[in-house]
Structure 1
Amino acid sequence: MRNWIACSSFSILFLSISIFLYAPTPGQSQQLNNSLSSQFRSFSADTDIRYKNLKFANDTTSKRVNADLPDPTNVLYKSMIIPGWGQIVNNQAWKVPIVYATLGGLGYYSVHLTKKYHDYRAAYYNLNPDTPDDLRFGSTPSYIPESANLNEVRDLRNQVRNNRDLVYVGIVLAYGLNIIDAYVFAHMRSFDVSKDLSMRPRVKPAVMAQSNMPGITLSIDLITK
């Protein structure tokens, strides 16, 4: 038991002397901290330079790829001025007949419904005994008999008017879809959607923007095979 206590005391004494002899002084600790801080700043500066060079290279490549493509904002304005103009700029002239067929069909149908609405409105006014016989909205059309039920004429007038209003909404939507289609396709033309694409993930060290602490970043590149 005494031998075990003596060995333990000797071990503790030896460790204490070792720590005292090899422990760094305050000056050495400060020098060590300065060295680590300098290495970290050098690592941060090198990472920042590589990030800027990579960003510059990507911007240059993007500008070179998109140099021959139309500006999406310019396409947007052209589609707003003349329907189908944006599709022509995007080399999609085959869509122009669809745009004008839709707008033309809806426009023609709205004119037809407007005419019918005017006919039923005139008939309802002329057949109503409470209104004077002055043909304010014109004469009653020949396809509406004088003996027609007044309530039915009123219901038909309201129905035709509602259908005409819905057609007006369809014209606005078709015009808006023409603009959206040209604008979105102008943006998407710069994307490579071919089948010869593969993904290459990359993990690299980086510096956090807010806390200036080291970290890692994960990026996935789409490259041509």
Structure 2
Amino acid sequence: MHKIIFISLLLFIAGKNTVFAQTKTESVLVAKDTLKSNDIDPLTPAKAAFYSAILPGLGQAYNKKYWKIPIVYGALGTSVYFYIDNNRKYHQYRDAYKSRLEGYTTDDLGFLDNNRLIAGQKFYQRNRDLSALVTLAFYALNIIDANVDAALIQFNVDENLSVRPVIYPNDVTLKTNIGLTFNYNF
């Protein structure tokens, strides 16, 4: 007897939940059909920045801005090239100066005196350090660009809000006026 009451009660409760579930899904469907859905993912900018931090240009590919990838690699490659070149020349001047101090004069920079070798070391060391800072700046700019671009993609840009240039004649002076119109349609 208790089993029959328990099973009937269980079926009654299960039947009520399915009725409620059906009404809930119907109301959600009606709400989705009548309202315009904006799918905004707040983690998209963080993902793009993370991808660019792992591999430069990957965040731009994630944002589908493929034309920016050669710019990223061009900027980073150029600054790395200048870093390597200045580092090589710095070591060349430093090694020539060290060999001069030891008494050897058989180097490629034998035509320079010691003061010029020291000045060359300082010059190329400063340029090397500056190239390293520029490389880091381009790397950070790559990450920031991916982050900002991913955030701006999610903004709603439609025809209801627009700014357009306008050329219109002035009725009093009969001259042409140039301006901007700000339109907002409800």
Alignment partner, residue 90 of structure 2: 117
What residue identity is the alignment partner of 1:102?
Answer: A
Which whole-Å CA distance do the structure 2 matches of 1:150 and 1:181 have between them?
46
Which whole-Å CA distance do the structure 2 matches of 1:121 and 1:162 have between them?
13
Match of residue 77, structure 1, among 35, 50, 57: 50
Q: What TM-score, normalized by structure 1, do the two folds share? A: 0.52
- Is 2:125 the partner of 1:183? no
Q: Following superposition of structure 1 onto structure 2, how do residues 130-149 of structure 1 map, counting pairs within 5 Å?
A: 132-133=102-103, 141-142=107-108, 144-145=109-110, 147-149=111-113
Which structure has the larger Rg over C-alpha atoms?
1
Q: Report Cα offsets for 1:182-214 as digits up to 9, x if no partner.
A: 00111111112445317xxxxxxxxxxxxxxxx
Q: Following superposition of structure 1 onto structure 2, how do residues 57-76 of structure 1 map, counting pairs within 5 Å?
A: 64-66=37-39, 71-76=44-49
Work out whether residues 70 and 90 of structure 1, in 8 Å CA contact, stay in contact via their aligned partners in 2: no
Which whole-Å CA distance do the structure 2 matches of 1:88 and 1:224 have between them?
35
What residue identity is the alignment partner of 1:71?
Answer: T
Which whole-Å CA distance do the structure 2 matches of 1:94 and 1:88 have between them?
9
Alignment partner, residue 118 of structure 2: 154
What residue identity is the alignment partner of 1:127?
Answer: R
Structure 1: give runs of 5+ residues left out of the alignment: 1-56, 199-221
Give the superposition deviation at 1:69.
Answer: 9.1
Which whole-Å CA distance do the structure 2 matches of 1:100 and 1:110 have between them?
15
Question: How many pairs does the alignment contain?
Answer: 133
Q: What TM-score, normalized by structure 2, do the two folds share? A: 0.63
Q: Following superposition of structure 1 onto structure 2, how do residues 20-31 of structure 1 map, counting pairs within 5 Å?
A: none
Identity %: 33
CA RMSD of aligned residues (A): 2.8
